[in-house]
């Protein structure tokens, strides 16, 4: 007879000959989703709405804990997904791009281009809707490993220092840039990333219109940007870059100290500090097999150029929910071949090349020249396109594209 599941050292131990594994399994699910970030929250609700039994788990005790994103949503996302209005800040239409010598290039749009999500609240709201759709939620639970059996996988989880086991027909890795699920499923893993750190500030006077200040400065932000977004209510001040080339926290301190001429931070109060890895190597190629698939950052679904990952989270989750539901309904493996990173990568070729180019610019002087060239009409419209264009993540299957109107009624936000 086997010992009780709790406290068993590992599954190999648990499934040794003679062990009745059924006595160890906590529950059996159609789908288990590891990670309750935007990708996991969105996918879990959609799958539960397709009448599947879904478990969503996260090692965090609450979804609002340790938010790591700035939370800038772009126009295309705001138009296509009905994000709850009270979870979004005022619209931003203006961008100022600064060269290393702080020469400015002003970009303006006639549309509401960006909104800063109030992310803790937004995650809570997504979770509420997922639970209402039938998702079972297990916070404080870490995914450790998975073993493939004939018709399902057995998951080894850690909850309150105890090991527990769950069985699932399908496993979804929405567990971020360093995905343990990807490695357990022997799918591709992210190899290239930048790191970003930021502070969220209050009590900062807004002069003029809400604005996204972007600083191209290889010293402070090697391979990416430093930013200060002021939407009139909050200011997010941050730096990002290749971790081998800078000390993010020291760069943030230096950046903040030099911001005084642009934003008056004298009365500012830091209300939150955020940070994390951002995969920038493009969507991974091998994203799915018959045991499971990857979503969001775990799938590398982040724009290699802008490092925006929130729009891809929502779009890819929608597509994945359709693929998984179909696969679990009729078991045809061909359904999974439609969930291939190769299909998405084709849309990112130019952005991957631009990432390679940006990665190579290490000198302030070269960046200064690049910024000066952006004043030329052709490159100026290119800068407009980068900031205000609508070229985010592709909608792979037009039939799954959701309009704000129809998903608003489905979501009842």
Ligand X SMILES: Cc1cc2nc3c(=O)[nH]c(=O)nc-3n(C[C@H](O)[C@H](O)[C@H](O)COP(=O)(O)OP(=O)(O)OC[C@H]3O[C@@H](n4cnc5c(N)ncnc54)[C@H](O)[C@@H]3O)c2cc1C
Q: Given the rule CB under 6 A, which residues bind ligand X?
A: 34-40, 57-60, 68-72, 142-143, 174-176, 180, 196, 198, 238, 274-276, 278, 296-298, 302, 307-311, 313
In the complex with ligand X, the residue whose CB is nearer, 283 or 307, is: 307
Closest residue by Cα to residue 67 from 126, 6, 136? 126
Tell the smallest beta-carbon distance from residue 41 to ligand X (Å).
Answer: 7
The DSSP code sequence of 338-372 is TS-HHHHHGGGHHHHHHHHHHHH---HHHHHHHHH
Closest residue by Cα to residue 324 from 150, 167, 168? 168
Can you tell me which residue has the tokens 């961008």? 95
**Tokens, residue 354:** 């631009």
Q: How far is CA 86 from CA 115, 117, 408, in A?
A: 11, 9, 14
In the complex with ligand X, the residue whose CB is nearer, 19 or 178, is: 178
In the complex with ligand X, the residue whose CB is nearer, 79 or 365, is: 79
What are the beta bridge partners of residue 176?
none
In whole angstroms, what is the distance from residue 221 CA to residue 219 CA? 6
Tell the smallest beta-carbon distance from residue 297 to ligand X (Å).
Answer: 4
In the complex with ligand X, the residue whose CB is nearer, 80 or 311, is: 311
Burial class (CB in 10 A: 0-12, 13-18, 19+), 413: middle
Tell the smallest beta-carbon distance from residue 278 to ligand X (Å).
Answer: 5
In the complex with ligand X, the residue whose CB is nearer, 24 or 302, is: 302
Q: How far is CA 106 from CA 109, 262, 375, in A?
A: 10, 14, 10
Closest residue by Cα to residue 275 from 237, 233, 235, 219? 237
Tell the smallest beta-carbon distance from residue 373 to ligand X (Å).
Answer: 26
In the complex with ligand X, the residue whose CB is nearer, 60 or 351, is: 60
In the complex with ligand X, the residue whose CB is nearer, 100 or 275, is: 275
Helix (H) or strand (E) holding 28: strand 25-34
Tell the smallest beta-carbon distance from residue 295 to ligand X (Å).
Answer: 6
Eight-state DSSP code of residue 209: S
């Amino acid at each position: 007879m086997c010992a009780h599941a709790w406290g068993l050292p590992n599954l190999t131990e648990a499934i040794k000959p003679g062990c009745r594994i059924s006595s160890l399994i906590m529950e059996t699910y159609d789908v288990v989703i590891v990670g309750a970030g935007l990708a996991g929250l969105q996918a879990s609700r959609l799958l539960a709405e397709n009448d599947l039994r879904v478990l969503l788990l996260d090692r965090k005790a609450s979804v609002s804990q340790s938010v790591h994103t700035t939370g800038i949503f772009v126009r295309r996302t705001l138009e296509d997904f009905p994000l709850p209005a009270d979870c979004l800040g005022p619209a931003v239409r203006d961008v100022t791009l600064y060269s290393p010598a702080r020469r400015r290039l002003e970009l303006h749009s006639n549309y509401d281009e960006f909104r800063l999500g109030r992310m803790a609240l937004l995650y809570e709201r997504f979770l509420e809707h997922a639970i209402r759709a039938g998702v079972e939620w297990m916070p404080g639970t870490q995914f450790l490993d998975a073993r493939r059996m004939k018709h399902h996988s057995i998951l080894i989880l850690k909850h309150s220092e105890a090991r527990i086991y769950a069985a699932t027909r399908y496993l979804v890795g929405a567990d971020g840039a360093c995905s343990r699920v990807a490695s357990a499923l022997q799918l591709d893993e992210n190899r290239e990333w930048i790191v970003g750190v930021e502070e969220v500030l209050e009590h900062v006077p807004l002069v003029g219109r809400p604005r996204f200040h972007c600083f191209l400065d290889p010293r402070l932000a090697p391979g990416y940007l430093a930013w200060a977004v002021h939407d009139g209510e909050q200011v997010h001040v941050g730096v990002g870059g290749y971790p081998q080339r800078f000390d993010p926290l020291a760069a943030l301190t230096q950046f903040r100290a030099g911001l005084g001429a642009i934003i008056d931070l004298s009365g500012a109060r830091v209300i939150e500090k955020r940070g994390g890895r951002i995969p920038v190597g493009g969507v991974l190629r091998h994203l799915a097999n018959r045991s499971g698939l990857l979503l969001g950052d775990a799938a590398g679904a982040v724009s290699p150029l802008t490092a925006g990952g929130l729009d891809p989270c929502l779009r890819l989750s929608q597509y994945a929910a359709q693929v998984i539901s179909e696969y679990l309904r009729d078991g045809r493996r061909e359904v999974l071949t439609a969930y291939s990173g190769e299909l998405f990568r084709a849309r990112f070729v130019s952005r991957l090349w631009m990432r390679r180019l940006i990665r190579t610019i290490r000198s302030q002087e070269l960046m200064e020249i690049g910024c000066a060239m952006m004043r030329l009409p052709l490159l100026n419209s290119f800068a407009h396109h980068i900031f205000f264009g609508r070229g985010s993540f592709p909608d792979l299957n037009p039939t799954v594209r959701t309009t704000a109107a129809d998903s608003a009624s489905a979501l009842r936000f």
